[in-house]
Amino acid sequence: MPEADTVRCIDGHPRVVVTGMGVFSPIGCDLDTFWANLRDGASGAAQVTLFDASEYTSRIAAEVKDFNPTDYLDPKDAKRTDRFAQFAVAAAVEALRHADLTIDEHNADDIGVFIGSGIGGMATWETQFEVLLSKGPRRVSPFLVPMMITNMGAGFVSIVTGARGPNAALVTACASSAHAIGDAYETIRRGDARAMIAGGAEAGITRSSFAGFCALRTLSRRNDDPEAASRPFDADRDGFVMGEGGAVVILERLDDARRRGARVHAEIIGYGMSGDAYHITAPSVAGPARAMRQAIESANLQPSDIDVINAHGTSTPTGDPAETAAIKSVFGDCACEVPVTANKSMFGHLLGAAGATELVSTILALQHQVIPPTINHTNPDPACDLDYVPNEARPAPLNVGISNSFGFGGQNASLVVRRCEA
């Protein structure tokens, strides 16, 4: 482990810290509200309101409430920006504000943007495809392509904030924003940037994407009880609840953060990624295990050093047992001793934004020394037999946490984060 008073890791690379966080989620659009609801086990799931879901097999989702994009974008620009990119911009602006970091001509070239999204501008694609069918190609908006393409999350964040460093969009399904943060961490470590705006955004609660997930039979059909529908690792789980939102963290070199007197909220100390080489949708055990093992090893830790696991925990019949088995594979005899929390039980599955949102949750848990609960865990599944912190938050001494994100196609990411004193 690197010494606490050094600014470089034992491998010679700069230490990378989190100095700001921004989150827009179904359980809160500011850090205080988000944390309070997470700690208290509040659910953000309800009946779908973004479209008429009466004919769908699943009619529930976790939507972001009371979001006004014009708080962060000029009204004209807001009309030309898909909802997912609006979430990205809002989360980035709030994260920069939380970090008290100003981007100007002196530092703009050294600050980059990595924003992940699994689906991108699906709502824009739907509405404009309807225009094409009903009114013909001449009536399609010239903003269709720039509103729809997934890189516009990162693009608009750069435009709004002025960050001119490395800029990319990560698309690895539900691992997108975890990969964005992990790759941003590595970008700073190798010297290609001094700070990064990294995270993810998703607005996939649309007719076509919802229909696709219903056809896959991956969404919960507990339509009469939406708040109890997302129940990771519970024997009565029947699928995930789709969510939406955005989350962004500001990553900086430790020496730069100290130099400007920034508050350090946590340190990223490990990152692992892997491919299943197995199946487009079916979960693997070996792939996620490799990502976790790599992340822990890159942090120069042992599995026994991990104090809490923030699980991918989607509430699907096959995914949760596979992740449980992967955790057992990595943690061995201590697997049952490490608390596992599943945030998706509360705010649903934010798809490409899930990893970033759950990393923010992990950092807040380390700060507050409280593990958020896995709610709706009332009927234990013999195939899922770890300590899932059921239903009530748990105070605990927390120093190091790992957060897992696994995507369709078998693309896996794990991030290890360490608590820092204020």
User: Which H or E run includes 145?
Assistant: helix 144-148
217, 239 Cβ separation under 8 angstroms? yes
**Residues facing residue 267 across a β-bridge:** 17, 418
Sorted by where each begins, the domain ranges of the chain are 16-259, 270-419
d(CA 157, CA 248): 11
DSSP alpha helices (H): ranges in 12-60? 31-40
93, 58 Cβ separation under 8 angstroms? no
Per-residue pLDDT at 10? 64
d(CA 378, CA 232): 10
Per-residue pLDDT at 7? 73
| Same fold? 16-259, 270-419 | yes
62, 26 Cβ separation under 8 angstroms? yes
Per-residue pLDDT at 2? 41
Question: What is the three-state SS of 306-369?
Answer: CCEEECCCCCCCCHHHHHHHHHHHHHHHHHHHCCEECCHHHHCECHHHHHHHHHHHHHHHHHHC
Per-residue pLDDT at 303? 97
What is the architecture, at CATH level 2, of domain 270-419?
A: 3-Layer(aba) Sandwich (3.40)
Per-residue pLDDT at 3? 44
Give how far Cα 56 sits from Cα of 124, 215, 327, Å: 21, 10, 35
For residue 1, what are its two tokens? 């482990």
Active-site annotation, residues: 174, 312, 349
Per-residue pLDDT at 209? 96
**Residues facing residue 272 across a β-bridge:** 414
Per-residue pLDDT at 281? 82
362, 247 Cβ separation under 8 angstroms? no
Sole residue written with tokens 């974008």: 73
SS3 25: strand
For residue 125, what are its two tokens? 């694609």
d(CA 291, CA 414): 6
What's the average pLDDT block by block, 10 residues per block, for the chain (422 residues)? 59 92 98 98 98 97 96 94 98 98 97 97 95 96 94 97 98 97 98 98 97 96 98 98 98 97 97 93 91 98 97 97 97 96 98 98 98 98 97 98 95 96 60
Q: What is the fold of 16-259?
A: Peroxisomal Thiolase; Chain A, domain 1 (3.40.47)
Buried b (16+ CB within 10 A) or exposed e, 317-351: eebbbbbbbbbbbbbeeebeebbbbbbbbbbbbbb
- How much is the pTM? 0.96
Per-residue pLDDT at 282? 82
